[in-house]
């Protein structure tokens, strides 16, 4: 009897122990998941880059009336998923294909800004904001506008200023093409302005003007040498709105160590891109692969210079487990599991970006006595084939005959139209 009772209680002990360990494991992981959600509830994410507006053009010709953004499932982003993902502010990318450079890039960018503004007005869950204060005070998902590609301003500081007035708060200096004034990381993908290296003198003027008006400088997509040149002159902190770490995947699109350290010195921020091909160089990728990029930058610079720029709807291929914008909490959970402190997580969710934005606004205030720059890009640095060449009118007006259309002979007009057609045919 005695022995049997002892055996029974031993069994009970074992069962208890196993159950105990089991619940420990379960509650351990739900702890991280719960902690992630709690943190994000009080510190909703500011994401640096989302290309939903590109998909709206590509799939629906910007016809918002045909779709319901709350539930749309042809994209990785919808309002329902943003809520689940605890996104509190989103930079929507006003992106224009490089092929439109020197053609209708300005109009296309205006139309993307239009669709972002309409979307943020039509849905009560969204609100367009244009300042750090706006992000902090809204109870809704804050909409911010980022211009993707310096070709959008058509080498015009006047156009840059007007895009700011429309609400754009960052501009990526290049996309995958060189502009007349800045070199891309995209190599020879496009034929524009081959031979441009780094930042030209006019490019430096663009940077100074962006500092003056309070437009955040985005270095994602620029070449490393362009980034270095900008870091050397910008008075305000700069961002990478959607870029990963070069040391972990050595492509020019990613950020090398010296520039990560440059960002620390500049007090800027690298908002980490989730794209599989950027974080894992075409090898399989999961949440852990992505978390390595956060750990890497944290190890090198400390956690204050890191943010999140998922690039959803801009690329195809996301790590297993992070397929759409509802999944951000899983990344936060993984970082908590790796020992990140709450304060550090709050930083990458929003405080680090807000610090940058506030400082950009402060630099604008400090520079408010400077007048708008009237610098123009030198004529020989532009490709005039698809522009109205105002130079001859200027010469005429100096001869006191004023601007007049009638003086355009048919011949240059025909060459202009022909060359535009030829360029269009060549593009693809």
Ligand X SMILES: *[C@@H]1O[C@H](CO)[C@@H](O)[C@H](O)[C@H]1NC(C)=O
Q: Which is nearer to ligand X, 81 or 169 (CB)?
A: 81
Place of tokens 């972002």: 116
Alpha carbon of residue 412 to chain centroid: 40
How many residues touch ligand X under the rule CB under 6 A: the total is: 11
- Binding string, residues 194-213; x marks residues near ligand X by CB under 6 A: ---x----------------
Beta strand residue intervals within 208-283, DSSP E: 216-218, 239-240, 269-272
Of these, 95, 278, 296, 312, which contacts ligand X (CB under 6 A)? Answer: 296
Q: Find tokens 């910008």 and name the residue.
A: 234
Residue 218 binds ligand X (CB under 6 A):
no
Stretch that binds ligand X, among 203-211, 269-277, 294-302, 361-369 (CB under 6 A): 294-302
Nearer to ligand X, 296 or 312 (CB): 296
Nearer to ligand X, 292 or 313 (CB): 292
Altogether, the residues listed in the chain come to a count of 428
Cα–Cα dist 206/182, whole Å: 10
Is residue 219 classed exposed, middle or buried when 0-12, 13-18 and 19+ CB atoms within 10 A define those classes?
A: buried
At what angle are helices 224-233 and 257-266 packed, to 10 degrees? 20
First and final CA of the chain: distance in angstroms?
88
* Catalytic residue IDs: 49, 51, 148, 175, 221, 242, 311
- Give yes or no for residue 373 binding ligand X (CB under 6 A): no
Question: Nearest distance from residue 65's CB to ligand X, in Å?
Answer: 15
Burial annotation 361-400 (CB, 10 A radius, 16+ → b, else e): bebbeeeeeeeebeeebeeeebeeeeeeeeeebeeeeeee
For residue 288, state whether it binds ligand X (rule: CB under 6 A): yes
CA atoms of 376 and 365, how far apart (whole Å) = 24
Query: In 62-122, which ranges are continuous DSSP H helix?
Result: 79-84, 105-122
Least distance to ligand X, CB of residue 131, Å: 35
302/378 with CB nearer ligand X: 302
The single residue among 154, 295, 313, 324 that binds ligand X, judged by CB under 6 A, is 295
- Whose CA is closest to 349, among 38, 19, 133? 38
How far is 136 from 141, CA to CA, in rounded Å?
10
Task: Please identify, using beta-carbon distances, which residue of 46 and 335 lies nearer to ligand X.
Answer: 335
Q: How do 45-50 and 87-95 pair as beta strands? A: parallel
Instruction: Determine if 131 is a binding residue for ligand X (CB under 6 A).
Output: no
Residue among 51, 102, 292, 324 that touches ligand X (CB under 6 A) = 292
For position 65 contacting ligand X by CB under 6 A, the verdict is: no
Instruction: Identify which of residues 96 and 260 has a Cβ nearer to ligand X in the complex.
Output: 260
Q: Is 225 in the site for ligand X (CB under 6 A)?
A: yes
Q: Compose the 248-287 pattern: x for residues touching ligand X by CB under 6 A, - for all others.
A: ------------------------------------x-xx
Among 73, 133, 341, 401, binds ligand X (CB under 6 A): 73
Identify whether the C-beta of residue 147 lies closer than 8 Å to the C-beta of residue 109. Answer: yes
- Applying CB under 6 A, the span of 48-56, 199-207, 210-218, 290-298 interacting with ligand X comes to 290-298
Q: How many CB atoms lie within 10 A of CB 159?
A: 15
Q: How far is the CB of 257 from ligand X (least distance, A)?
A: 11
Q: Provide the binding-site residues for ligand X, judged by CB under 6 A.
A: 73, 197, 225, 284, 286-288, 292, 295-296, 299
């Amino acid at each position: 009897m005695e022995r049997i009772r002892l055996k029974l209680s031993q069994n009970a002990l074992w069962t208890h122990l196993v159950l105990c360990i089991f619940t420990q494991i379960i509650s351990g992981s739900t702890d991280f998941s719960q902690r992630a959600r709690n943190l994000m509830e009080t510190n909703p994410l500011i994401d640096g880059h989302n290309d939903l507006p590109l998909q709206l053009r590509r799939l629906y010709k910007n016809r918002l009336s045909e779709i319901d953004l709350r539930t749309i499932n042809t994209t990785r982003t919808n309002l329902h998923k943003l809520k689940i993902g605890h996104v509190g502010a989103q930079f929507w990318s006003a992106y224009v294909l490089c092929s439109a450079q020197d053609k209708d890039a300005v109009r296309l960018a205006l139309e993307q800004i239009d669709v972002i503004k309409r979307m943020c007005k039509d849905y009560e869950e969204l609100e367009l904001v244009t300042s750090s204060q706006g992000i902090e005070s809204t109870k809704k998902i804050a909409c911010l506008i980022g211009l993707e590609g310096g070709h959008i301003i058509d080498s015009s500081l006047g156009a840059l200023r007007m895009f700011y007035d429309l609400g754009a708060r960052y501009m990526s200096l290049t996309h995958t093409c060189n502009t007349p004034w800045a070199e891309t990381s995209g190599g020879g993908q496009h034929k524009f302005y081959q031979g441009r290296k780094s930042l030209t003198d006019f490019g430096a003027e663009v940077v100074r003007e962006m500092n003056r008006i309070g437009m955040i400088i985005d270095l994602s997509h620029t070449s490393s040498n362009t980034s270095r040149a900008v870091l050397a002159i910008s008075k305000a902190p700069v961002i990478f709105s959607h870029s990963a770490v070069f040391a972990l995947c050595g492509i020019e699109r990613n950020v090398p160590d010296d520039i990560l350290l440059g960002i620390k010195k500049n007090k800027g921020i690298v908002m980490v891109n989730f794209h599989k091909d950027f974080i894992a160089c075409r090898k399989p990728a999961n949440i852990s692969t992505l978390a390595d990029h956060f750990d890497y930058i944290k190890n090198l610079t400390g956690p204050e210079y890191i943010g999140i720029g998922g690039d959803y709807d801009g690329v195809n291929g996301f790590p297993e487990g992070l397929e759409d914008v509802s999944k951000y909490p899983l990344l936060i959970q993984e970082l908590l599991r790796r020992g990140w402190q709450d304060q550090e997580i709050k930083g990458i969710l929003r405080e680090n970006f807000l610090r940058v934005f506030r400082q950009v606004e402060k630099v604008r205030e400090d520079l408010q006595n400077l007048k708008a720059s009237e610098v123009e890009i030198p004529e020989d640095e532009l490709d005039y084939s698809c522009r109205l060449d105002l130079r001859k009118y200027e010469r005429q007006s100096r001869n006191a005959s004023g601007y007049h259309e009638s003086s355009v002979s048919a011949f240059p007009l025909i060459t202009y139209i022909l060359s535009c057609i030829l360029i269009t045919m060549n593009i693809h």
